[in-house]
Amino acid sequence: MVVALLSAVAVILVLSLDVVRKIDQQSTASTDNVQWSIAQINVEYLQLLLAMERAIAGTETLEEVRQRFDVFYSRMITLQLSPVFAVLREDPDYTTSFSRIWDFLTRRVILIDGSDADLRAGLDEIAAELRDLRGDASVMGLTGIRVFASRTDAEREGIASTLLQVSVLTLGLILGMGILAATLARMNAAIKRQVLENQIQGERVKAVFSTSLDAVIVTDADGRILEFNAAAEAVFGYSAAEALGQDIAPLIIPPALREAHWRGMARYRQAGAKHVIGAGHLRMTAMRKGGETFPIEAAVSVSTGADGEIFISYLRDVSAQVAAEEELYRARDDALAGEKAKAELLAVMSHEMRTPLNGLLGTIELLQQTRLTAKQRQYHRIMESSGRLLLHHVNDVLDIARLDSGKAAITSQRFDLAPLLRDIVENLTPMALAGENRLRTSLPADGRTVIAGDPVRLRQILLNLVGNALKFTRNGEVRIDVARRDAAGQIDIRVADTGIGIRKEDQDRIFDDFVTLDASYTRSASGTGLGLGIARRWARALGGDVSLESEPGVGSVFQVSLPLSGPAERPASGEVAEAEAQPEPPVGRSLSLLVVEDNPVNRLVVREMLESDGHAVAEAQDGQEGIRLAARHRWDAIFMDVSMPQKDGVEATIAIRKSGGASADSPIIALTAHALPGETDRFLAAGMQVVMTKPVSRDALRRVLRQVLGQGDERPESAGARVHPAVPTEVPLIDQSRLADLIATLGKERAASLFQAFVDETDPVVAGWRGLDLVATPQGAAAMALQADAHRIAGSAALMGAARLRAHLAEAEAAGKAGDGMRLAEHLQRAADLWPETCSALLAQG
Amino acid sequence: MRPASVSRLVMALAIGGLLAGPVAAEGLARPEGEVFLTVSGDLATTNAPEMALFDSALLASLGPVEIRTSTIWTEGVHSFTGIPLKALTDALGVVGGTLRMSAINDYMVEVPVSDAIDEGPILAYEMDGKPMSVRDKGPLWLIYPFDSNSDYRSEVYYSRSIWQLDRIEAVN
């Protein structure tokens, strides 16, 4: 723009000078002798002619003629030679006329320059010739005027055109200047606005900076402090005057951290590496003026200042926050420690309470076999029921501990619901009668009462719910209705009463622990307030739930919903619950058994119970004695208390297994009051086969013996042939959480097709395992193939949560690797045994 | 005293000065040959009543110079010999005003006395070493040094370059 304007000015200047020059020429044209010279052609011609005619007439001298001739002659030469008249000489008319006159002058000059006499004599002739040239003189003059007039016109036009150009350019220039001026004005306004905005912005930033609650420190690239706000003064203890211009590091960074700070700054300068800058809020340690260090939260950003990069640090003193956080952590740790202490207390309690209880109940049971009077039998009954109730409460508390620790041992087996309900009704009929209540059950109409699940836990749930219903019902009815809902894959058991009901606001609360509502009736049985909580916990542990509908004054309905899972061949848990109600027949032959137990009462109870079934029982008072006896004699089975002074049951078991003594391969049954599931692993790992929880009952003893020895048949020579290999028996058939994860991940349909594929693929392989020979055990390539199959299927089983199947397959694989063909075969057989149950459980999920 | 009286007094004094002129004119010789230039008007020095008459010898006595220049009326560069106009005005005591110059061909032009400077115009009477006849724009031709001073190459000076000059009148 400016260049264009300057060019325009230059052009205008040049043109103006041109115009001035041309106008100057025009102004001086009047004095220009060119026009005059041309006009003089005629004048001087006529003067010459006049001079001649007067000389002829005698009124003029010859001298005058000569002079006029010379003047005319001179004019002609000038016209002929001067460059000024060159343009005329191009005109043909002019040239012709000039030639005639010039011819006359050159011819007659001799006469003019000659003597007066000759001149006078020729004067008439010359004059006559000159007269004939009059037209030519006129032509020359007129041509000259015409040519120079047109040239002047052209010059004027040139001037006019130049003036026009100047005008146009001037107009353009003015326009350009106008635009430039407008632009400048706009720019000026914009700059003014910008300046104002900057000022406002600056003031705002200043206000933000000075009123910030966080300390704000601005430094240059070398760490020199440029800004130090009021909050920074308060936090760090330096005044702004002290801080400004100082290196930030010695001021606010603790000595131990300065080296790291300088390294970080150097790294940033060299490589632009940012660790702190732009990393958001970082927890760091800073230092106050007095050298006290304290925690800060820092956010550092980089910006460009007037002299290069500047660093803006927002620093917040978080001492109080950190202290509060630490307090919180402490409180949490304390709470966790408290929880742990509670769990430990429960475990100790279980031991301390169940051991004497074990003695008490065992003795009561023994007492029954003695001769008693009618009165004594009545007392005996009271003692027994009181003892059972006490045991029930202890078990309640232990159940809570187990369920809350997520380690509840759950079995899945096929069982008939009808006898279970019958048993519950029988058990609770006295209580129903006491409350003048009717107790009724209704089973599914189609009579399909066989379901899969954990009968022990279901029984416990229903006992709790029905017992609770009877407690709060008088002169009414308690119904147990079973509805099988195959489509939803679940079974609903409703316990409905016509009792006092539960208010809406209490309906959730009653499932909480130790909640006993203000009952209208005196309690017929003492309650811990744990019953409903336990029922719900167990139901949830089984994959179901307990729900409640109730109307005060009308009644309550507790509904247990449980998933229908696949059939089970047999109870799989190594833990035999004492509450199992089915009576067990005694083992069909006399066994030689060893009981290792430090508590004399418990030892007596167990021995009496076993002897009453016709077995030969030896006792050992501690682990050491047990080891000695086991080495000497081959026992059919050894009952081993876990908690004993000095050598405990676990150590003793390990010693027996390692001893290579007579009973090194005998089944060992753990007796423990430690019911927490985590410990079972330890016992089984030590070489025990089954874990029994005290107190023990005769039925439990019979069942365990049958389990470890087979169905009471002759004990085969091959040691432990029917004793199932040591696999952690509390491994659940199905790891429900794993399975749920898988289904959640894949979706129900894809999971179902995956399970089907797994079943189809595995079925033929498993069929081959059933016929494995345990005597001529697989060796070499055959063993390798079996091991490979086990490995492959174990992987799939793990994926689908078939935990127990996987455990046996893993054992089989390990045995194969170790070259133990027999253990390989045993575990594969066991896996084959588990197979139908596992299939059903998986396919039921689809 | 009214201003008009002052003017009259000044004029009277000026006339007095002029009356003293013939005494001073004693320095200018009388022409002996044919007179070819007549200068009249306000002259401080004369050699005839109120006039200065020059023949070629008298004019040449004023100190001739030679300039080489081209003109728009001639072809090529020529050598012109003549008396600087300044020499003439100095000799005649003409200090200001205008020189009204007339030619044989009746051309007339007014040349300001301020033109009479060193390196200025000359009254040429020879071209290329030869006296100029009337046919050759003689007897006198006022030649400005056109080539050496571009200021002179303009219509104003072209028009003042009078040839066939024979009369000058100094007008105040």
pLDDT in tens, B76-121: 899 999 999 999 998 888 888 899 999 988 888 899 999 989 999 9
To the nearest 5 percent, what fractions of chain B are helix, strand and coil?
30, 30, 40
Assign residue A748 the CATH number of its domain.
1.20.120
Query: Are A83 and A2 in a shared domain?
Result: yes
Inter-chain touch A67–B155, beta carbons under 8 Å? no
Low-confidence winner among A1-5, A168-172, A581-585 (lowest mean pLDDT): A581-585
B109 touches chain A (CB under 8 A): yes
* Residue A575's pLDDT band (cuts 50, 70, 90): very low
Q: Residue with structure tokens 């753990």?
A: A670
Low-confidence winner among A571-575, A670-674, A842-846 (lowest mean pLDDT): A571-575
User: ipTM beyond 0.85?
Assistant: no
Amino acid identity for residue A427 in this structure: N
Q: Which residue did the predictor score with more confidence, A102 or A275?
A: A102
* Residue A601's pLDDT band (cuts 50, 70, 90): confident
Inter-chain touch B75–A83, beta carbons under 8 Å? yes
Inter-chain touch B163–A77, beta carbons under 8 Å? no
Amino acid identity for residue A507 in this structure: Q
- Position A525 scores a pLDDT of 43
Q: Which residue segment(s) compose the domain that A266 sits in? A: 211-322
Inter-chain touch A33–B134, beta carbons under 8 Å? no
Amino acid identity for residue A808 in this structure: H
Nearest CA in chain B to A113: B135
Inter-chain touch B135–A78, beta carbons under 8 Å? no
Amino acid identity for residue A217 in this structure: I
- The rounded distance, in Å, linking the Cα atoms of A349 and A356 is 11
Query: Are A301 and A436 in a shared domain?
Result: no
Query: Are A153 and A9 in a shared domain?
Result: yes
Bridge partners, A640 (sequence order): A596, A670
* Residue A388's pLDDT band (cuts 50, 70, 90): confident
A70 touches chain B (CB under 8 A): yes
- Position A583 scores a pLDDT of 59
Is 50 exceeded by the pLDDT of residue A522?
no
Q: Which of A544, A563, A582 is the last residue of a domain?
A: A563
- Asked if residue A223 belongs to a domain, the reply is yes
Among A432-441, A676-685, B116-125, the range with the most confident prediction by mean pLDDT is B116-125
Residue A13 phi/psi, 5° resolution? -60, -50
- Position A565 scores a pLDDT of 64
Query: Are A161 and A226 in a shared domain?
Result: no
**What is the average pLDDT value for chain B, to the nearest integer?**
82
Q: Which of A123, A155, A179 is the last residue of a domain?
A: A179
Inter-chain touch B74–A70, beta carbons under 8 Å? no
* Residue B151's pLDDT band (cuts 50, 70, 90): confident
The answer to whether the CB of B79 falls within 8 A of the CB of B70 is no
User: For the residues A476-499, what does the mean pLDDT come to?
Assistant: 87
- Asked if residue A134 belongs to a domain, the reply is yes
B98 touches chain A (CB under 8 A): no
Q: Which two tokens stand for residue B72?
A: 């728009």
- Asked if residue A332 belongs to a domain, the reply is no
A43 touches chain B (CB under 8 A): yes
User: For the residues B62-70, what does the mean pLDDT come to?
Assistant: 91
**Angle separating helix axes A780-800 and A803-818, nearest 10 degrees:** 150
Nearest to B72 among A73, A77, A83 (CB): A83
- Position A678 scores a pLDDT of 62
Q: Which two tokens stand for residue A37?
A: 């010279």
User: For the residues A310-337, what does the mean pLDDT come to?
Assistant: 89
* Residue A367's pLDDT band (cuts 50, 70, 90): confident
Is 90 exceeded by the pLDDT of residue A599?
no
pLDDT tens figures, A6-17: 887 888 788 778
- Position A4 scores a pLDDT of 73
Inter-chain touch A84–B72, beta carbons under 8 Å? yes
Query: Are A696 and A751 in a shared domain?
Result: no
Q: Which residue did the predictor score with more confidence, A578 or A771?
A: A771
Q: Which residue did the predictor score with more confidence, A640 or B28?
A: A640
Assign residue A663 the CATH number of its domain.
3.40.50.2300
* Residue B33's pLDDT band (cuts 50, 70, 90): confident
Nearest to A74 among B109, B137, B156 (CB): B137
Q: Which two tokens stand for residue A316?
A: 């917040």
Instruction: Residue A90: count other Cβ atoms within 10 Å of its Cβ.
Output: 9
Distance of CA A158 to the CA centre of its chain: 85
- Asked if residue A731 belongs to a domain, the reply is no
Instruction: Residue A50: count other Cβ atoms within 10 Å of its Cβ.
Output: 15
Assign residue A453 the CATH number of its domain.
3.30.565.10
pLDDT tens figures, A750-772: 778 888 888 888 888 888 887 77
pLDDT tens figures, A200-224: 988 888 888 888 888 899 888 888 8
The answer to whether the CB of A258 falls within 8 A of the CB of A275 is no
- The rounded distance, in Å, linking the Cα atoms of A822 and A777 is 5
Query: Are A13 and A48 in a shared domain?
Result: yes
Q: What is the DSSP string of A466-533?
A: HHHHHHT-SSSEEEEEEEEETTTTEEEEEEEE-SS---GGGTTGGGSTT-----SSPPSS---S-HHH
The answer to whether the CB of A569 falls within 8 A of the CB of A833 is yes
User: For the residues A798-822, what does the mean pLDDT come to?
Assistant: 81
- Asked if residue A351 belongs to a domain, the reply is no
Nearest CA in chain A to B165: A71
Query: Are A417 and A499 in a shared domain?
Result: yes
pLDDT tens figures, A788-802: 888 888 877 877 788
Inter-chain touch B136–A77, beta carbons under 8 Å? yes
B134 touches chain A (CB under 8 A): yes
The pTM of this model reads 0.36
Inter-chain touch B104–A67, beta carbons under 8 Å? yes
User: For the residues A652-677, what does the mean pLDDT come to?
Assistant: 82
Low-confidence winner among A59-68, A423-432, A437-446, A521-530 (lowest mean pLDDT): A521-530
Provide the sign of the torsion angle of the four alpha carbons A519, A521, A526, A532, taken in this order.
negative
- Asked if residue A355 belongs to a domain, the reply is no
Query: Are A430 and A532 in a shared domain?
Result: yes
Is 50 exceeded by the pLDDT of residue B158?
yes
Q: Which two tokens stand for residue A731?
A: 């491994």
Q: Which two tokens stand for residue B81?
A: 């010999």
B70 touches chain A (CB under 8 A): no
The answer to whether the CB of A290 falls within 8 A of the CB of A278 is no
* Residue A674's pLDDT band (cuts 50, 70, 90): low
Instruction: Residue A97: count other Cβ atoms within 10 Å of its Cβ.
Output: 22
- Asked if residue A834 belongs to a domain, the reply is yes
- Position A579 scores a pLDDT of 38
Nearest to A44 among B105, B154, B159 (CB): B105
Query: Are A433 and A552 in a shared domain?
Result: yes
Bridge partners, B109 (sequence order): B101
Inter-chain touch B159–A77, beta carbons under 8 Å? no
A824 three-class SS: helix
Query: Are A235 and A118 in a shared domain?
Result: no
Closest CA to B121 of B159, B160, B95: B160
Count structural domains, chain A.
Answer: 5
Query: Are A58 and A13 in a shared domain?
Result: yes
User: For the residues A125-146, what does the mean pLDDT come to?
Assistant: 86
- Measure in Å the smallest separation between the Cα of B9 and chain A Cα atoms: 38
Q: Which of A690, A709, A728 is the last residue of a domain?
A: A709
Residue B79: C-alpha distances to residues A780, A833, B65, B71, B135 (Å): 141, 147, 10, 11, 17
* Residue A478's pLDDT band (cuts 50, 70, 90): very high
Inter-chain touch A74–B109, beta carbons under 8 Å? no
The answer to whether the CB of A127 falls within 8 A of the CB of A71 is no
Q: Which two tokens stand for residue A802?
A: 């078939």
Assign residue A283 the CATH number of its domain.
3.30.450.20
Percent over 90 (pLDDT), chain A: 8
- Measure in Å the smallest separation between the Cα of B58 and chain A Cα atoms: 23
- Asked if residue A337 belongs to a domain, the reply is no
Residues of A in contact with B163 (CB under 8 A): 74
Query: Are A512 and A640 in a shared domain?
Result: no
- The rounded distance, in Å, linking the Cα atoms of A102 and A108 is 10
